[in-house]
Amino acid sequence: MYIRTLSILLCLTPAFCDGAKHNLVQIFNGNDLSQWEQAGKAEWRVEDGVIVGGQDGDPKRSGILISKGSYKDFDLRLEYKIDEHGKYNSGIYFRRSKTKRLGSPYQLNLGRGLAGEYVGLFLDDWLDKGDDKDEIRKPRQWNKVRLLVVGNRIRAWLNDQPIVDYTDLKPRVDLQAAGSIAFQTYGAEGHAGWIKFRDLTLIDLSAKKQTP
């Protein structure tokens, strides 16, 4: 069985090229969820190196899968595939404080633009609707996501096309510190959906030393 773990790093930014300064983190070992914690009633499992989440027949069983590690500045790359139904959506939470959360964390929402659930940046409201016309996302196929967070600036790419470039001029205190990364699954309209993630690669840009 082929287990997907880390993608090949492409030298597209100085952060990726300068291996002497930054950490490549194995955020998912490809075998189990030992590096993650669960909250809510959703079901999460690993199938052939793919993280699978969903409500398993019950639309009320939403939940999140939370990394045990905390990250402030990072470059995250992954592929995802999502159920194609109504307003069902997923998302990537980040800078989610493990101690004193003052509100919702940042979220790169993963949904259907035509249903008002854009692949875009959300906090208490939309910060950047990103792929608002749902023209870049590929329905029922694997989609590539890159999320680059440095200081107060948040950028995202979908299938290699830039969709988000947002600078938070007045971030909350808890959003200025390191926090967990979390995956969401959320059903709507009486439907229980599913989300899949694979090929997770994370560069910790806050790290001072490189892991061999």
Q: Provide the pLDDT for residue 22.
A: 58
Question: Of 85, 188, 164, 175, whose CA–CA distance to 124 is shortest?
Answer: 175
Per-residue model confidence as pLDDT tens for the chain (212 residues): 333 333 333 333 444 444 435 589 999 999 999 999 999 999 999 999 999 999 988 988 999 999 999 999 999 999 999 999 889 999 999 999 988 889 999 999 999 988 999 999 999 999 999 999 999 999 999 999 999 999 999 999 999 999 999 999 999 999 999 999 999 999 888 888 999 999 999 999 997 643 33
Topology (CATH level 3) of domain 21-204: Jelly Rolls (2.60.120)
- For residue 115, the SS3 value is helix
Dihedral, CA of residue 69, residue 141, residue 48 and residue 108, to nearest 10 = 10
For the chain, give every domain's residue range. Answer: 21-204
Tokens, residue 175: 């959003």
Tell me which residue has tokens 């082929």.
2
**Residue 149 phi, psi dihedral angles, 5° rounding:** -125, 115
pTM summary value: 0.87
Q: Where are the alpha helices (DSSP H) in 67-141?
A: none
